Structure 1
Amino acid sequence: MIKLDGITSFVAIAESGSISEAARRLRLSKSVVSERLAELERSLGAGLLHRTTRKLTLTEDGTAFLERASRIVQEIEEAAADMAERRGTISGPLRISAPVTFGRMHLGPALYPFLADHPNLQLTLDLDDRRVDAAADGYDAVVRNGPIADSRLMAWRLAPSRRVLVASPAYLREHGRPASIEDLEQHKGIFYTNRGVADWRFPTSAGTVLVRGRMGFGVNNGDMLRDAAVSGLGIALVPMFVVGEAIASGQLETIDIGVQPELEYIHIAHPDGRRPSVKLRAMADHLRKAFGTPPYWDPTFPT
C-alpha cells in the first residue's frame, strides 16, 4: 500500500533538491524522510531518484510520478484547509518568507498577538533579503516590499509603502541640500543593491526620470542602508518603515526635489494555482489591520 507520508516526502525532496532540506521543511529527521522515500519506491517497484554524492535528480519514473504526486499533496492540503474553515479554526503549519528589516521591525511585532490568539498555528518565518522562489523553496507565501514581478505569484496588498530621500544633518551641512533632480545627480548615493542597479527612478509628467548618483555605499539590507545614511555617507532612497523613527528623532532629514518616487506597497504573495488557506487569509487580514491605513510607521502619509 502506498502511504501518503511517502508521497509528501518525495514531493518535498523533488521540490527542494535534497533530503536534508526536505527534512527541514517537514520538520522530520533526515533518516525518517529517507526511509519514507525508500518505502515509497518499494511500493511502486521503481526508483524515483538518482542519488550521487553531489545531488539528487529525478529518474524518468520519478518525473512521471511527480506531477500526479504534487496534485495529490495539493488536494490533501486544500481538503484540510476546507475542513479547518468549516470548523472556524486556524491550525497547522504555515511557512512564510519576509525581508529582514521589515520582518524585525514590523512583521514580527504584528504577528506575535496573532500567534497568541491562535496557539494551534505552527508558523515558520524565514527572514531573507533575497527574492526567494516561493514555490520551489516550499513557502506558503512571501512578504515583499515593492512590485511583484513574478507572474507565478498572486499578491495581496497589506499596506502602502512610501519611499523618501534622506540624509543626515551633518551630510547636508557639508554638501548642501539638493532641490532638483539635477542637483541630486551630484551627490553621493547609498543604494539598496537587491534592486539590481545603483539608480533612483522618479515618475514625472514627461516620463520616468532615472537618476544615477555617485556610488557612496551599496548594501543589500535595510538596517545598514539607514545606518549608513545616519553616519553621513550620502543620500538614500528608503521606505518610511525603515527610517520613520530616525526622521522623528532628527537623525535623518527628508529631502524634497520637487518629484516623488513611485508609491509602492507591502504585499503578501502566494504561489499561483494554489488555493490560499484559511490561515493565510486570516493572517493577511490581521496584518492589514495591524499596519493600518495610513500605516502607523508613516503618520504623515498623504491621504
Structure 2
Amino acid sequence: MMKLDGVVAFVVTAEAGSISAASRRLGLAKSVVSERLAELERTLGTTLVQRSTRKLSLTNGGRSFLPRAQRILREVEEASSELAARSGKLAGPLRISAPVGFGNLHLGPALGRFLRDYPEIDLSLELDDNFVDAASGGFDAVLRHGAIGDGRLIARRLASSRRLLVASPGYLDECGIPTTLAELERHRGILYSNRASDWRFATASGWSVIRPRAGLRVNSGMLMREAATEGLGIALLPTFFIHEALANGTLTQIDIGQQAEGAELFLTYPKDHGASAKIRAFGDSLRRTFGSPPYWEKIPGI
C-alpha cells in the first residue's frame, strides 16, 4: 500500500530540487527522506527520481506522477482543514511567500495576530522579491502587489495603496518642483527595475507613460525610498512604503495634477488548489489587521 509520507517525500523533493533541500524543508534527516522515497518507488514498481552526484531529475514516470501526487496531498490537506474548521480549530502547515519590502514593513504584526488566533497552524513565510509561481512553487498562497494576469490563479484582493510621487525637501529645493507631466519627465527618476513602464498616470485621453532620466534603477521599494530620502531623485512609490516618511517630513509628495496608477495587494493561490480553510482564515486575518482603508493610507494632510 502506498504510504502518504512517501508521497510527501517525493513531492517536496521534486519541488525543492534535491533530497538535501527536501530534508531541510521537512525537518527530517536526509536518510529518512531518501528511504521514504525509495519505499514509494518500490511500492509503485518504478523509478521516480534519477539520482546522480551532480543533480536530481525526475524520470518520465516521476514527471507523470508528480501532478497526481500534488493533487493527493492537496486533497488530504483540504479535507483535514475542513474537518478542523468544523470543529472550530485550524491546524497544520501553511506555507506563504511574500515580497521582501512589504513583508519586513507590515507582516510582523499581521502574522502575530493570525498565530495568536490560530496557534495550531505551523506557518512558514518566505520573503522573495523575485517572481514566485503560486501555481507550482510549492506554496499554499503567495502575496503579490500589482497585476496578476495568470489564468491558473485565483487572486483575492486584500488591500489597496495609492502610488505617490515623492522626493526629499532638499532635492526639491535644488531642482525645483515639477507641476506637469512634461516637467516631471525632465527630472531624475529613481526607477523600479522590474517594470519597464512603471510611471503611468491617468489623463483625460487615457493612460500616459512617463520615462524620466534614470538616476537609479533598483528592484527594491525600500531602497528606492531610502534613495529618495537621500535626495537622489524622484520616486513613485506605494503608500505602504512611504506613509511614515511622509508623516515625519523626510519625504514630500509632489502633486502634478494627475493620479498615478495604484497598487493592489492580492493573496493568490492555484485554481485547482482552491481556498482551503487555512488560506481563507489567513486572508481574513490580514484584511482585519490592515483595515479598510488600510492604515498606510491614513496619512495626515495627504
Q: TM-score range by the shorter chain?
A: over 0.9
- The whole-number CA distance in structure 1 between the counterparts of 2:218 and 2:209 is 20
Look up the match of 2:277: 278
**What's the offset of the Cα at 1:44?**
2.1
- The whole-number CA distance in structure 1 between the counterparts of 2:29 and 2:91 is 22
Look up the match of 1:70: 70
3-state SS of paired residue (1:268): strand
Query: Does residue 200 in structure 1 map to residue 199 in structure 2?
Result: yes
Instruction: Give the conservation status (yes or no) of the 8 Å contact 2:81–2:91.
Output: no
- The whole-number CA distance in structure 1 between the counterparts of 2:181 and 2:38 is 63
**What's the offset of the Cα at 1:38?**
0.9
Instruction: Give the conservation status (yes or no) of the 8 Å contact 2:110–2:289.
Output: yes
3-state SS of paired residue (1:203): strand
Q: 1:107-145: per-residue Cα shift (whole Å, max 9, x none)? A: 221221221222111111111111211232211111111
Q: 1:183-223: per-residue Cα shift (whole Å, max 9, x none)? A: 0110000012232x264111222121111111101111121
**What's the offset of the Cα at 1:104?**
1.2
Alignment of 1:151-230 (within 5 A): 151-195=151-195, 197=196, 199-230=198-229
**What's the offset of the Cα at 1:51?**
1.6
Look up the match of 1:142: 142
Look up the match of 1:94: 94
Q: 1:145-182: per-residue Cα shift (whole Å, max 9, x none)? A: 11112222211111111110000000000000000100
Instruction: Give the conservation status (yes or no) of the 8 Å contact 2:17–2:56.
Output: yes
User: After the TM superposition, which of the residue ranges 215-224 and 171-180 deviates more from structure 2?
Assistant: 215-224
3-state SS of paired residue (2:142): strand
- The whole-number CA distance in structure 2 between the counterparts of 1:96 and 1:73 is 17
Instruction: Give the conservation status (yes or no) of the 8 Å contact 1:199–1:213.
Output: no
Look up the match of 1:79: 79
Q: 1:252-281: per-residue Cα shift (whole Å, max 9, x none)? A: 000011111122211111122112221211
- The whole-number CA distance in structure 1 between the counterparts of 2:101 and 2:53 is 37
**What's the offset of the Cα at 1:26?**
2.5
- The whole-number CA distance in structure 1 between the counterparts of 2:97 and 2:16 is 15
Structure 2: give runs of 5+ residues left out of the alignment. Answer: none
Instruction: Give the conservation status (yes or no) of the 8 Å contact 1:16–1:136.
Output: no
Alignment of 1:12-91 (within 5 A): 12-91=12-91
Instruction: Give the conservation status (yes or no) of the 8 Å contact 1:294–1:301.
Output: no
Residue identity matched to 1:17: G
Instruction: Give the conservation status (yes or no) of the 8 Å contact 1:90–1:118.
Output: yes
Q: 1:199–1:212: structure 2 CA closer, same or farther, 3 Å change rule?
A: farther
3-state SS of paired residue (1:270): strand
- The whole-number CA distance in structure 2 between the counterparts of 1:293 and 1:74 is 32
- The whole-number CA distance in structure 1 between the counterparts of 2:259 and 2:76 is 47
User: After the TM superposition, which of the residue ranges 45-54 and 164-173 deviates more from structure 2?
Assistant: 45-54
Q: 1:76-135: per-residue Cα shift (whole Å, max 9, x none)? A: 112112211211212111111111121111122122122122211111111111121123
- The whole-number CA distance in structure 1 between the counterparts of 2:97 and 2:65 is 29
- The whole-number CA distance in structure 2 between the counterparts of 1:87 and 1:49 is 39
**What's the offset of the Cα at 1:23?**
2.4
Look up the match of 1:115: 115
User: After the TM superposition, which of the residue ranges 24-33 and 276-285 deviates more from structure 2?
Assistant: 24-33
3-state SS of paired residue (1:109): helix
**What's the offset of the Cα at 1:67?**
3.5
- The whole-number CA distance in structure 1 between the counterparts of 2:65 and 2:12 is 13
TM-score, with normalisation over the residues of structure 2? 0.94
- The whole-number CA distance in structure 1 between the counterparts of 2:241 and 2:226 is 10
Look up the match of 1:289: 288
Instruction: Give the conservation status (yes or no) of the 8 Å contact 2:97–2:139.
Output: yes
- The whole-number CA distance in structure 2 between the counterparts of 1:223 and 1:19 is 35
CA RMSD of aligned residues (A): 1.7
Look up the match of 2:263: 264
Residue identity matched to 1:112: G
Look up the match of 1:251: 250
Look up the match of 2:239: 240
- Percentage identity across paired residues of the two chains: 56
